[in-house]
Amino acid sequence: MDDGLRQPAARAAAGPAARELTLSVVAPTFNESKNILALIESLEACLSPIPEQSAWEVIFVDDNSPDGTAALVREIARTRPHVRCLQRFGRRGLSSAVIEGICSSSAPYVAVIDADMQHDETLLARMLGMIDAEKADLVVGSRYVGGGGFGDLSPLRRAMSQFATRLSGLVMQFDLTDPMSGFFMVRREAFLAAAPHLSGAGYKILLDFVASAPAPLKHLELPYEFRARLHGESKLDAMVLFEYIVLLLEKTIGRYIPIRFLMFCLVGGTGVLVHLATLFPVKELTSFAIAQAFAALVSMTSNFILNNILTYRDVRLRGRRLITGLFSFYAVCSIGFLANVSFAQLLYDRGQPWWSAGAAGVLIGCVWNFGASSIFTWKRA
């Protein structure tokens, strides 16, 4: 069948009641099974005012929640075709989940909302009207605009948010009152233009987006009141602050030095301290050679644990893969040590100062360890 016949046939199959997809709502999830149905029903009520010829969908991007969130979404989706599930394995993180959700959408507009009911989903229809009428790239739900607020959020959480907002000025291309907001609507084409430059690290996808956009975005802000979580537990922990700092570094010096490599080297620096702290007492109990070997094993183990928690947090190894990854890391670092010594000796034999040859050996070892462990130890699933 040629194209001239295929297209009318497709339109006929769609039927006169077919509606054009206008809005995708992306909700990243991890252990949110108790909130899913409530959010879907609220979205159905709130988005009923959008034009009749328009359709919407909600995409739950789930990081393989152990509480069965993905299975529940798929069960609901069997009778609600506007509900979709995108389940991820071997990786975690709100920002990367949002990126994958938006990239999977075909709607011209995409909203991002938490699944814990802390954002005001009743504003979505208004956001859609604003972004369309004003030809804007972005509409942000702000807690700082007049009429917005933090609800029952603790003073500590408020202070943390305000401090992070001030720090965001280091990378912002334009003024935004609440770059920490996780509640916003974006024109999909504007997001895709920034997608190749996104860090994808941590939880602050809005800041990542506005700092990565190739040109300043036409934006609007709408006040909303932050609500108490309906069910479940907050995902906020000390690592969120760490990941936020990593994001700021990525957007400032990341163009010169890969931040993951920098973190890998910093962890390696702590390994030197662990090595010396282990060697000092153990050398009194046995020969220096045995003590040195034991200290090297302890420092490699320490480096592996810290890298698994920090440097490779998004692809963290768990269960059986944690054990196989540890032995893989031992092998990688052993080869890196030989490369370090061999290259340093080569330079020294050719007349390089000891400190220059030694530093070059360390650099070669670091580059090898980083590259090889990224490929063999923390390879993406």
pLDDT tens for the 381 residues of the chain, in order: 444 444 444 443 444 456 789 999 999 999 999 999 999 999 999 998 777 667 999 999 999 999 999 999 999 999 999 999 999 987 778 888 999 999 999 999 999 999 988 899 999 999 999 999 999 999 999 988 888 887 776 677 777 777 777 776 666 766 788 888 889 999 999 999 999 888 777 678 888 898 888 888 899 999 998 877 666 565 555 566 677 777 777 777 766 778 788 889 889 989 888 888 988 898 888 888 888 888 889 999 999 999 998 888 878 898 899 999 999 999 999 998 888 888 888 888 898 888 888 788 888 889 999 999 999 999 864
Please give the span between the terminal C-alpha atoms of the chain, in angstroms, as a whole number: 41
**Which token pair is 292?**
């040195």
b/e 132-168 (16+ beta carbons within 10 angstroms → b): beeebbbbbbbbbeeebebeebeeeeeebbeebbebb
Q: Decide: 177 and 145 in contact? Cβ < 8 Å.
A: yes
Note the pLDDT of residue 11: 42
Q: Give the distance from CA 27 to its chain's centroid.
A: 14
Note the pLDDT of residue 233: 63
In this structure, which amino acid lies at residue 298?
V
Question: Which of 79, 97, 85 is closest to 41 using CA atoms?
Answer: 79
Q: Is 173 helix (H, G, I), strand (E, B) or coil?
A: coil
**Strand 138-142 vs strand 184-187: parallel, antiparallel, or unpaired?**
antiparallel
Q: Which residue has the tokens 């075909």?
A: 106
Compute the distance between CA of residue 288 and CA of residue 294 in angstroms, rounded to an integer.
Answer: 10
DSSP secondary structure of 22-34: EEEEEEEESS-HH
Q: Which residue has the tokens 């069965």?
A: 68
CB atoms within 10 A of CB 373: 24
Note the pLDDT of residue 236: 56
Sheet holding 109-112, edge to edge: 83-87, 54-62, 20-29, 109-112, 184-187, 138-142, 219-223
Compute the distance between CA of residue 146 and CA of residue 143 in angstroms, rounded to an integer.
Answer: 8
Q: Where on the phi/psi map is residue 237: left (φ > 0), alpha (ψ -120 to 50), or beta?
A: beta
Sign of the Cα torsion 312, 313, 318, 323 reads positive
Note the pLDDT of residue 210: 87
Q: Which residues contact 218 (CB under 8 A, 6 or more apart)?
A: 134, 135, 136, 137, 138
